[in-house]
Each structure stands twice: as structure tokens, then as C-alpha cells.
A and B are shown apart, each in its own frame.
Chain A
Amino acid sequence: MASKVIHAIYNDDDILMHAVKQTRAAHYHIEEVYTPFPVHGLDKVMGLEPTRIAITSFMYGIVGLCVAITMMNFIMIEDWPQDIGGKPSFSYIENMPAFVPIMFEMTVFFAAHLMVITFYMRSKLWPFKKAENPDVRTTDDHFLMAVDTAHHDIDKMSKFLQDTGAVEISIVESDDDH
């Protein structure tokens, strides 16, 4: 079933924030908001759930730490025992200070890279993916709020959105399921 969606375009992030608040207060359903840059606090105003990516980042960091410990233990202690700093103890724990920078770097490396990859996968982004934003101006200087018409009166809604400060209103058939 193809339902209709209203695209309201704004040219200022403060006006957009107010519009989002008003639209939600009027119990219209906002499908998505497209912005050229991250708008601070927009997620809260839209009522999006807090991100859980920080938790995954923490877990990836711990994985990285474990990898570093295992790796350095194998390379420097077991496989080819090294005399580190003139202290040939051949024990991981006694040589630990020398491995701390590697442990730190691997923690950061794993946390950062895996977090970015998780973000891409979760946002369904991959190379050569076709852009989803309905209007190219949202990559430049305009903000677009897509509101689901559902069973509401379209004229009334257009009028309402006009009053929230939209510079342009267009009604489009929603043809996909995003």
C-alpha cells in the first residue's frame, strides 16, 4: 500500500527543531528528518531511542585489549622470548609496562574501527549505495522533514506545516518501505 508523505523543507536548524516539536505535539508521525549536518538535540526532540553504540564500543575495546595481550604474549614471550630493556625475565606480567602502549592502541583501534563498521551495518550503508535522501538540497543547506499523512487531512496538514515555518511543502507517494 502506497501511502502519501509530506516533505516539508526548512532552511534553519532552529526553526526545524521547533517544527519537529510542534509536529510531534500535534500527533503527526515523523518518518525521517534529513539534515546537511548533525543537529544537536534533534534525536531527543524526535523521540528516538538513545544509541547503544557506546556499549558496543566498550565491548570492542575489551576485545582489542584481549587481542593485544594474547598477541604480545605470543610474540614477545612464548614464540621468540625477548630480553626487554635488559630485564630477561621472560614473564608477561614483569614486562607488562613495555606492552601497555600496544594494549592501549589495540583497544582504541578495535573500539574505533569496529564501532564505525557497526554503525555502517546498522545504518545499512555500504560502498556504491544509492543515496536515500529525497532532495539533494539536504546535502547542502536545507533541512527536510518527512511526515506520514496516514489518515489525516492532507490540506490541513500542509497548512499546519506551513505555519511551522516550512519554506516549501510537497506531497509525494511513498514508494519504498524505509
Chain B
Amino acid sequence: MNYTLPSKLKLFAIILMVLGAVGIGAGFLSAPGSTAEVKEMMAAHGDDHGEASTQSHHTAKDSHGDTAHSASHDASDEQKHLEHTLHQLQNRPWSALYVACFFFFMIALGALAFYAVNFAAQAGWSPVLFRVMEAITAYLVPGGIIMFVLLGLSGFHINHLFVWADPEVVAHDVLLQGKAGWLNGTWMLIRAAIFLGGWITYRHFAVKFSRAGDIAKENDYSNFKKTFRISAGFLVFFLYTESMMSWDWIMSFDPHWFSTLFGWYVLAGMMVCAITTIALITIFLKSQGYLEIVNDSHIHDLAKFMFGFSIFWTYLWFSQFMLIWYANIPEEVTYFMTRIEDFNLPFFGMLAMNFVFPLLLLMNSDYKRVNWFVVLTGIVILVGHYIDIFVMVMPGTVGKSWFIGIPEIGSVLFFLGLFILVVFTALTKAPLLLKNNPFMKESKNYHY
């Protein structure tokens, strides 16, 4: 059966994109252009944290009698602080855009990896969901192009997202000079092109073979075999490139710091989000009367994966945290210091959303079959993992000046709209059940 895109859904997606674009625009327009504006903003917001402390500082110094010295000293300090805040506030709309762009891109990428895993493992339960997965991976192309453009703008220092892209900073930083061979705009973009090219190529051929299977003769499994082969190859390529991608695109926001399991950590978050999205879209399609062959057991399995990968994500989060916390080495521990001090609520809040919530809600076997339970948990997981990406990126770009406001929400709405539009348009391109997959019968009869 073919899916037809309801005009309401299309309208909804376009409204989201327009609202999001307005939010993004407002974010860029309201970013301050000079330190004077930052000063005004701080005064207007009554957010006189810095001001008040400098003033009390003044009076205290005054009473000590070395007015002239402290005044000039404080003035330059204040100027530095204002410039710092200015850069952070100018980074904010860019970072918001970057986080949202990466978040939705990673869902498509995770779905692609999950699709390949199912082929390589010759999974018998999932073929009825393959068309949903293929549709989600359709976002890889537009999402990847936007991601590439953003990386280009950041890597060549059009915006200030990557400190390592700023030649002035690198000139005074021995560590960054040492890493310049890897962390430079050109080489990063070449890598990004290789990663994206490889992923999109696999996606292109996998979908091509899947479509070819629809029109092939009955019981002609040659297309399945082709996808099986390229899936195995793709997974090897993917695990290397995903790791490097996470260093380049996320970890390099804090270029002094590094963690050897960062790639795994990003992968775990990516997989949870992708599987959650597959579950949500499947449940949505079922509620619209499509995919009638998908039963509670398929949803149960997806929910098991959501539960399992949530625990896996927490395991990696904790492994990274505990070793660094225990060893307490200054250059390592600074990563978590900034997050606990400046991002306390999102940092620990996302831990509750990504671990405690799915743990308690999805632990019971029966609850994994209750669709609204899966939807509820899924939405919390997706929001939680957005915040996870937020907390990975923001400390390195906007620091203390973070806030979830119009630029952030606008960016999320824009990419959500684009994601819905692309994914659901892709769903209409082919029948919702593929043909000539040797495991199709098993999947249709799948019963827990």
C-alpha cells in the first residue's frame, strides 16, 4: 500500500519551518554587534551579575585608597569581560542552528546504521519496518548538505564556533598548534565530504536495490544479497567515520580536551534517537491506518532497543564521567567542571530524561507494547538527547551566556519541519512493504 502525504501534515511541516526561520532570523538580528550593546542588554535585562560585582569591587578598592590603579585595571577587566560575552552572544544563534542541525542529521544517520545492522544480521523481525527506515534516511541528503555548509562556515572562521579555526587563538596556543595538522578548515571539510559521501552512497544503493526488489520476479533475492553485502562493508566504514565525525563535529568544540570513547558515546545517543524516531513514525503511520501488518511485537522490539540503548548510553556517559572525575587531572576535569557549574540543570536534567525515565517506564515487558507509553517515553528521550547535544556543544561556544530561547527553539522547529517534510515525502515514493526480502514472511508473522 502506498502512503499519501496528507496536506495537513505538509502544511504543518511548512508552518514549523516558517516559524523556525523567523526564530532563527530573530536570533541573528538580536545578537549584539558591539560591546556597548552587550552592556545595554545586561542593564536592560536586570541581569547585572557582572555589573554588581564589579561595582562592589570598586567601592571596596576605593576604601583601600588605590583608586587610580584599580579603576584602570577594572576597566580593562570589564572591557575584556564584555568582549567575551559579546563573542558568546554572537555565537549563540550559530550554535543553536548547529545543535538542531546536527540533532536531526544524527537521527537520519543512526537510522541508516540501524538499517544496515538489520541487513547484516539478517534480522527476521524488522523487514516490515524497512520502508520507514529508508524514509528517515532520506533526510541524510538535505541534512548533510546543511551540515556541510555550517561546517564550512565554522571551519573557515566565518563564525566563531570553532576556536581552533581562529588563527589568532592558534598563534597563542601551543596545544592547538600541535593539533593544527588535523584541526584545520580544509582538512576537516575534506573529511566531512568523505564521511557524507560514503554514507549517502551507501544509502543511495541500499534504497536502489530495495526498490529494484519491488519490481523483480517473485522469490528473486539477488537484490537482498547485494544490500546484505554492501551493508556489511558500510558498517565497517561507518564505525570508523562516525568516530572521527564525532571528534571533528562535536569534540573539537573543546579542542584541548579529548576522550577516547567519545565516538561511542555519540553513537549510543544517535542510535537511541534513531530507533525512537522509527518507533514514533511507525506508531503514527499505524494510527493513520497504514502498516496494518506491523503488530505490537514489532513495537515491543523497538521499545526494547530504546530501553537497551538508553542504558548503553548511560553506561558510556558514566564510564567517561567516572574515570575523569576519579583521576581529577586538571586538563581533563575542566570539561565536566564547566558543565556542572554553568550547565547544572541541563547536564543533570538530561541524565534523568535519558536514563531514569526510560529505565522506569520501559522496564516492564507489558509497557513496551502500550503504544502511548512508547510515544511518551520516546518524546522525553528525544528532548533529552537534544539537551545532550546542547550540553556537548554550548559550553565551548557560548559558555555562561547559554539559554534555551527563541534562537534555539526556532532552530529546532525549522529542522523538525524540514525533517517531517523530507521523511514523509520520501514515504510516499514507494509501497510501505517491500517485496522479495527472504525474511518478509517471518517478519509478517513475527509474534512474541
Residues of chain A touching chain B, judged by Cβ–Cβ distance below 8 Å, are 41, 54, 58, 84-87, 97-98, 100-101
Contacts and interface: CB of A to CB of B under 8 A. Distances in A.
Given A85-B326, A85-B328, A97-B322, 16 more contacts: A41-B447, A54-B364, A54-B365, A58-B363, A84-B326, A85-B325, A85-B327, A86-B328, A97-B318, A97-B321, A97-B325, A97-B326, A98-B322, A98-B326, A100-B322, A101-B322
A58 B364 CA distance: 10
Contacts, number: 21
Contacts of A58: 363
A106 B365 CA distance: 23
Contacts of B364: 54
20 contacts: A41-B447, A54-B364, A58-B363, A84-B326, A85-B325, A85-B326, A85-B327, A85-B328, A86-B328, A87-B328, A97-B318, A97-B321, A97-B322, A97-B325, A97-B326, A98-B322, A98-B326, A100-B318, A100-B322, A101-B322
Contacts of A97: 318, 321-322, 325-326
A13 B113 CA distance: 36
A84 B328 CA distance: 11
> Interface residues of B: mostly helix, strand, loop or mixed?
helix
Interface string B327-352: 11000000000000000000000000
Contacts of A54: 364-365
Contacts of A87: 328
A112 to B, nearest CB: 16
A106 B363 CA distance: 19
Contacts of A98: 322, 326
A98 B447 CA distance: 42
Contacts of B363: 58
Interface of B: 318, 321-322, 325-328, 363-365, 447
Contacts of A41: 447
Contacts of A84: 326
A103 to B, nearest CB: 11
A97 to B, nearest CB: 5
Contacts of A86: 328
A54 B363 CA distance: 10
Cβ-closest 9 pairs across A and B? A85-B326, A97-B322, A97-B325, A86-B328, A85-B328, A98-B326, A100-B318, A97-B321, A87-B328
A117 to B, nearest CB: 22
Contacts of B322: 97-98, 100-101
Contacts of B327: 85
A6 B165 CA distance: 82
Contacts of B325: 85, 97
A121 B103 CA distance: 50
A138 B326 CA distance: 55
Contacts of B321: 97
A27 B322 CA distance: 60
A41 B445 CA distance: 14
Contacts of B318: 97, 100
A102 B201 CA distance: 46
B322 to A, nearest CB: 5
B358 to A, nearest CB: 16
Contacts of B365: 54
A101 B364 CA distance: 23
Contacts of A85: 325-328
Interface-centre pick from B325, B327, B363 (highest chain A CB count, 10 A): B325
B381 to A, nearest CB: 21
A21 to B, nearest CB: 14
B78 to A, nearest CB: 35
Nearest to B323: A97
A16 to B, nearest CB: 17
B365 to A, nearest CB: 7
B319 to A, nearest CB: 10
A105 to B, nearest CB: 13
A97 B327 CA distance: 12
B68 to A, nearest CB: 43
Nearest to A55: B364
B398 to A, nearest CB: 27
A41 B447 CA distance: 10
A54 B365 CA distance: 9
Nearest to A84: B326
Nearest to A98: B326
Nearest to A54: B365
A37 to B, nearest CB: 19
Contacts of B328: 85-87
Nearest to A85: B326
A41 B448 CA distance: 8
B7 to A, nearest CB: 44
B351 to A, nearest CB: 12
Nearest to A58: B363
B142 to A, nearest CB: 41
A84 B325 CA distance: 11
B434 to A, nearest CB: 27
A137 B364 CA distance: 37
A58 B321 CA distance: 27
A158 B325 CA distance: 71
Nearest to B321: A97
B155 to A, nearest CB: 36
A129 to B, nearest CB: 30
B335 to A, nearest CB: 15
A41 B363 CA distance: 21
A53 to B, nearest CB: 12
A45 B322 CA distance: 48
Nearest to B318: A100
